[in-house]
Amino acid sequence: MLPLTVIGLTLVVFVLTRVMPGDLATLIVYDSGARFTKPPEVAVAEVRQQLGLDKPIVVQYGIWLARLARGDLGFSYWQQQPVARLVAERIPRSMELTLVSIVIAFLVGIGLGTVSALYRNSWIDHLSRLLAVSGISVPLFVTSVGILWLLVRFFAWMPPLDYASPWENPWENLQQVIWPALALAIYISAPVMRLARTQLLEVLREDYIRTARAKGLAERVVVMRHALRNSLIPVLTFLGWWAARIFGGVVIVEVVFAVPGMGRGLLQAVSARDYPLIQGYILALGLAVVLTNFLVDLSYRWLDPRVRHG
Amino acid sequence: MTPTPIPPRATPVLTPTPVGEKPQYGGIVNYHDYTDPVQIDPHATTVIGDLQMSMGVLSSIIKYDPRNPFYIAPDLAERWEQSADGKVFTFFLRKNVVWHDGTPFTARDVKVSIERVLGIWDPAFSAPRCGSLLKPLVDKMEVVDDYTVRFHLKFATPLFIPSIASSWCKIASASALERYKNLSRPESLIGTGPFALKRYERGVVFEWEKNRRYFEEGLPYLDGVRHYILPDVATQLAGLRTGRLHIAPNFPGLTPSQAQQVVSARGKEVVAYRWTVNNMVGTQLNTRVAPFNDIEMRRAIHLALNRQEVVEKIFEGIGFPCTVLDPVAYGDYALPMEEVLRLPGCRPDKTADWAEARRIVQQKYPGGLELEVLVRRTLDFVPTAELVTAQLQALGIRARLQVLEPAAGLQRYGRGEFTIIGTQSTSPSIPDPSAMFTESWVPGGALNFTGWEDKTFMAMHEDAIRALDVRQRQRIVQEMQRYLLTKDMAWLVLGWRERYFIWDVRVKGFVPGPSIYEDKTFTTVWLSP
């Protein structure tokens, strides 16, 4: 399935970039002043020919796919650099942000969900559910701007503007990544918490939990080893299902917190209608979604013995 | 902290550096660009966000004086002479100048750059800003010797000196141009300016470092300037409020409420300075198609638009309604505001104007008129266009707003596929009044999509670019403004914005100029401890 999914992805990415309104050739003509030496329509036609945009979309797709098969993602029209280099430069930043977000989201979401399920209908359950509903209801850009506003308003501080690699300057990198990761984590942890709570409540009613308790196992062992582990399967499925949304959220937090990752790069590429770069970024993000789902599928084997032995 | 009120508009300041204060060396100023530079070749671009990259890196033959950008000063040329008939300019170039890569600067570099913008060096290349400034004026340029160049003009004109001094006409290294064919790559931006381009991470930051071999002794004072690329306004404001940024740029500039946020947070640590953005905002009518191929309908819209409301609601009360030229930037060339505000269409009391506009529309379109108002989603264009649409609806026109992505908008405008563009702004390339007319009302202006051509106006424009006597030129330019406001125009002026500059009090020697394109080389800026 994986190769078919990737080919389908390339087709969607290619067609989407070509059908969106706004034309790169027109932008180049108006930005380079070519309309001053010749009629705009002539200049636009010439640029389209130079860039190969005058060929039928199917032919353009075929050429792009053939290059892609050789590992060549093309050349950025505006940045005058290989797309592969630009994407490779930004992938680690977005991946770091995403991973930190997911770790925070799962720690908080599963933690709150577990506490909520164990203390059902208590004040902590009500509070956790209220937080979850808020996390789902408030748009990510509002959460992001809100966090930035709080930092600025009450601490007269904002994350550093210059990006520092975690290998070169881990402290500065943490200062920059933690806040957008927190915003994204709030967005992810709310549904995780609700799902974890529901699943745990269901699992706690299962016969094998009753058996474990009847055998005299400590409640902590029953919950942590038997109940929680089984309730995590749907939560992980959710991660695969939500991966596209999470990577979409990365675009928003990277813009607000000025993190120079793929999301911010994608937005810039879309504004400039830099087709090869848009394709490169979306393809990388799409592959990340596919890979996440693949890893989720693999993780079932570890979490669920029925899959492992089935 | 007690909020400090933002100050009213100041009179032009020659230098905010207190007299007697001795400039200090060292330090890095943190600045920001509101957009990610797309086309960094200063000859090829039309956008200030792109131009900023090369502003302090490349030099011009002559320049707007960084200590007082209202005046022209020597740059690569240490002096210049003008012939008696005013048609020949000879520039004597400095002999101690080296490029950032260590090669010596000569007249050949000037020749290649100028021939490039004139379309001689590469006929396929066109320079939208510098080319449109120089091509109508320059007949030929000759290299007299290694350190002397001579320009022969087609006619004597006061436009030549402000044009050749422009940041759009910077001199690039001939060897870099020969090697890279253009200046679109960061490595091709080899200059002679006070700073060299140290690094450029696209979408993140570009940084200048001090050119230790800069030809003006003792300059620059700073070790460098970091330009963070911050398209998001919330991030820009956060940077200013927390002191991570030293200066807010004058384009697009801060509105009063945004400036107030920064001043409230930082009090006396910042200077807030109300100043012109040198940016005209207007509504464009397509004169190639109905209903605006009819001069009466153009007049109806001119009468109906409420510019005072635009200034109040969009510019947050600071700006100049209706005037063709900004009175701050253009001084005596601008029609006095008292006169502008007495004219139909511009006067604050709209009762008579609306009645006349309604009469025209009802007479021409008794069954009613339906219009699609287009606008690009950029800067504050959408809220401005919403207001314009509401004003048209109040006139009885069934106006409907359609918002387009910036690229899609340009495409439709360029093809002439529109009836009315709700909002489009422009900043003239040089702070000379005729440049504003060239770019906005003379056919072929970079952002003029109206298709409007008027022989009487063109004749006046020809007179304006040839008039050498200042008083005579002022009279012609004022007459052109009266003509546009009372006879006909298709790019209807809504107003000129004013905004706030904000800078940290430690930043000294920063002088806002009459043009947003000429005051950010940071040559004479320094940081106090």
8 Å CB contact of A260 and B231: no
pLDDT of residue B11: 40
Secondary structure in 3-state letters for B352-404? HHHHHHHHHHHHHCCCCCEEEEEEECCCCHHHHHHHHHHHHHHCCCEEEEEEE
8 Å CB contact of B228 and A22: no
Confidence grade of residue A39 (pLDDT, cut at 50, 70, 90): low
Say how many CA atoms lie within 13 Å of A210 toward its Cβ.
4
Q: What is the mean pLDDT of residues A12-37?
A: 71
Enumerate long-range contacts of A148-154, CB under 8 Å, 24 or more apart.
A148/A179, A148/A256, A148/A257, A148/B234, A148/B235, A148/B238, A149/B234, A149/B238, A151/A179, A151/B238, A152/B237, A152/B238, A152/B241, A152/B242, A152/B265
pLDDT of residue B6: 42
Please tell me the distance from the alpha carbon of residue B158 to that of residue B333, in angstroms, as a whole number.
Answer: 14
Q: What are phi and psi of A221, to 5 degrees?
A: -70, -40
Pairing relationship of beta strands B148-153 and B138-145 according to DSSP bridges: antiparallel
B201 CB near a chain A CB, below 8 Å? yes
Rank A298-307, B38-47, B149-158 by mean pLDDT and report only the highest: B149-158
pLDDT of residue B250: 79
Mean pLDDT of chain B: 91
Angle (CA) A44-A46-A51 rounded to 5° is 95
Chain B residues touching A160 at Cβ < 8 A = 244
Give percent of chain B with pLDDT exceeding 90.
Answer: 72
8 Å CB contact of A145 and B241: no
Angle (CA) B347-B351-B354 rounded to 5° is 90
- Is B198 strand, coil or helix? strand
Determine which of A89-103, B35-49, B203-217 has the lowest per-residue pLDDT on average.
B35-49
8 Å CB contact of A255 and B244: no
Chain B residues touching A79 at Cβ < 8 A = 202
- pLDDT above 70 for B321: yes
pLDDT of residue B14: 34
B1 CB near a chain A CB, below 8 Å? no
- pLDDT above 60 for B1: no
Question: How confident is the model over A178-222, as pLDDT tens digits?
Answer: 999 999 999 999 999 999 999 999 999 989 899 999 988 888 889
Q: What is the mean pLDDT of residues A172-177?
A: 94
B295 CB near a chain A CB, below 8 Å? no
8 Å CB contact of A156 and B265: yes
Confidence grade of residue A32 (pLDDT, cut at 50, 70, 90): low
Chain A residues touching B119 at Cβ < 8 A = 37
B364–chain A nearest CA distance, Å: 33
Please tell me the distance from the alpha carbon of residue A199 to that of residue A234, in angstroms, as a whole number.
Answer: 8
Nearest to A83 by CA among A286, A266, A294: A266
8 Å CB contact of A258 and B230: yes
B98 CB near a chain A CB, below 8 Å? no
Chain A residues touching B204 at Cβ < 8 A = 162-163, 258, 260
Residue with token string 């800026």: B525
Question: How confident is the model over B272-307, as pLDDT tens digits?
Answer: 888 888 899 999 999 999 999 999 999 999 999 999
Please tell me the distance from the alpha carbon of residue B107 to that of residue B309, in angstroms, as a whole number.
Answer: 53
Q: What is the ipTM of this complex?
A: 0.75
The per-residue b/e assignment along B297-316, b for 16 or more CB within 10 angstroms, e otherwise, is bbbbbbbbbbbbbbbeebbb
Chain B residues touching A162 at Cβ < 8 A = 204-205, 226, 228
B404 CB near a chain A CB, below 8 Å? yes
CA A295 centroid distance within chain? 15
Instruction: Indicate which of B33, B35, B39, B122 best probes the interface with A, i.e. most A CBs within 10 Å of its own CB.
Output: B39
B128 CB near a chain A CB, below 8 Å? yes
Q: Which helix (H) or strand (E) holds A142?
A: helix A140-155
Contact residues of A toward B, CB < 8 A: 21-24, 26-27, 29-37, 40-41, 44, 78-80, 86, 145, 148-149, 151-152, 156-158, 160-163, 255-258, 260, 264-265, 268, 271-273
Nearest to B409 by CA among A199, A105, A273: A273
Q: Which of A22, A161, A268 sits opposite B411 (nearest CB)?
A: A22
Confidence grade of residue B151 (pLDDT, cut at 50, 70, 90): very high
Question: How confident is the model over B384-423, as pLDDT tens digits?
Answer: 999 999 999 999 999 999 998 776 787 788 888 999 999 9
8 Å CB contact of A33 and B231: no
Q: What is the mean pLDDT of residues A133-146?
A: 91
B185 CB near a chain A CB, below 8 Å? yes
B85 CB near a chain A CB, below 8 Å? no
Q: Which of A22, A30, A35 sits opposite B405 (nearest CB)?
A: A22
- pLDDT above 50 for B12: no
Please tell me the distance from the alpha carbon of residue B384 to that of residue B390, in angstroms, as a whole number.
Answer: 10
8 Å CB contact of B47 and A273: no
Chain B residues touching A27 at Cβ < 8 A = 407, 410-411
Q: Answer with the residue of higher pLDDT: A58 or B109.
A: B109
Helices A228-256 and A170-204: angle between axes, nearest 10 degrees: 140
- The DSSP symbol for B4 reads P
Contacts of B137 (CB under 8 A, 6+ apart): B153, B154, B155, B157, B159, B160, B163, B465
Confidence grade of residue B515 (pLDDT, cut at 50, 70, 90): confident
pLDDT of residue B13: 38
Pairing relationship of beta strands B507-508 and B398-404 according to DSSP bridges: unpaired
* B43, closest residue in chain A (CA to CA): A32
Please tell me the distance from the alpha carbon of residue B506 to that of residue A195, in angstroms, as a whole number.
Answer: 53
Confidence grade of residue A30 (pLDDT, cut at 50, 70, 90): low
- pLDDT above 80 for A305: no
- The DSSP symbol for A60 reads H
- pLDDT above 60 for A47: yes
- Measured CA distances, A189 to A102, A195, A207, A235, A238 (Å): 8, 10, 29, 11, 11
- pLDDT above 70 for A93: yes
Residue A167: Cβ within 10 Å count = 8
Question: How confident is the model over B38-90, as pLDDT tens digits?
Answer: 788 999 888 888 899 999 999 999 999 999 888 899 999 999 999 999 999 99
- Is B69 strand, coil or helix? coil
Please tell me the distance from the alpha carbon of residue B466 to that of residue A138, in angstroms, as a whole number.
Answer: 61
- pLDDT above 70 for B375: yes
Please tell me the distance from the alpha carbon of residue B184 to that of residue B50, in angstroms, as a whole number.
Answer: 10
Segments in B181-243 forming alpha helices (H): 233-241
Q: Answer with the residue of higher pLDDT: B112 or B16.
A: B112
Strand partners of residue B73: B63
- pLDDT above 80 for A29: no
B445 CB near a chain A CB, below 8 Å? no
B377 CB near a chain A CB, below 8 Å? no
Chain A residues touching B126 at Cβ < 8 A = 32-34, 36-37
Please tell me the distance from the alpha carbon of residue B278 to that of residue B253, in angstroms, as a whole number.
Answer: 11
- Is A155 strand, coil or helix? helix
8 Å CB contact of B234 and A256: yes
A253–chain B nearest CA distance, Å: 11
Please tell me the distance from the alpha carbon of residue A45 to that of residue A50, in angstroms, as a whole number.
Answer: 9
8 Å CB contact of A31 and B45: yes
* B412, closest residue in chain A (CA to CA): A22
Confidence grade of residue A275 (pLDDT, cut at 50, 70, 90): confident
8 Å CB contact of B203 and A265: yes
Size of interface A-B (CB pairs under 8 A): 129
- The DSSP symbol for A15 reads H
- The DSSP symbol for A245 reads H
8 Å CB contact of A145 and B234: yes
Chain B residues touching A22 at Cβ < 8 A = 405-411
Question: How confident is the model over A215-274, as pLDDT tens digits?
Answer: 888 888 898 888 888 888 888 888 888 888 898 899 999 988 889 899 989 988 887 788
Question: How confident is the model over B88-104, as pLDDT tens digits?
Answer: 999 999 998 999 999 99
Pairing relationship of beta strands B28-33 and B224-229 according to DSSP bridges: parallel
- pTM of the full structure: 0.84
Largest CA distance in chain B: 73
CA B227 centroid distance within chain? 19
* B207, closest residue in chain A (CA to CA): A162
pLDDT of residue B10: 41
- pLDDT above 90 for A14: no
Chain B residues touching A23 at Cβ < 8 A = 407, 411
8 Å CB contact of B244 and A79: no
Please tell me the distance from the alpha carbon of residue B444 to that of residue B74, in angstroms, as a whole number.
Answer: 32
8 Å CB contact of A33 and B244: no
pLDDT of residue A310: 62
Mean pLDDT of chain A: 87
Q: Which of A30, A158, A271 sits opposite B242 (nearest CB)?
A: A158
B84 CB near a chain A CB, below 8 Å? no
Pairing relationship of beta strands B420-426 and B370-376 according to DSSP bridges: parallel
Give DSSP secondary structure letters for A69-86. Answer: HTT---B-TTT-SBHHHH
A268–chain B nearest CA distance, Å: 7
pLDDT of residue B431: 86
* A160, closest residue in chain B (CA to CA): B244
* B46, closest residue in chain A (CA to CA): A31
Instruction: Indicate which of B120, B188, B232, B415 best probes the interface with A, i.e. most A CBs within 10 Å of its own CB.
Output: B232
Contacts of B434 (CB under 8 A, 6+ apart): B159, B461, B464, B465, B477
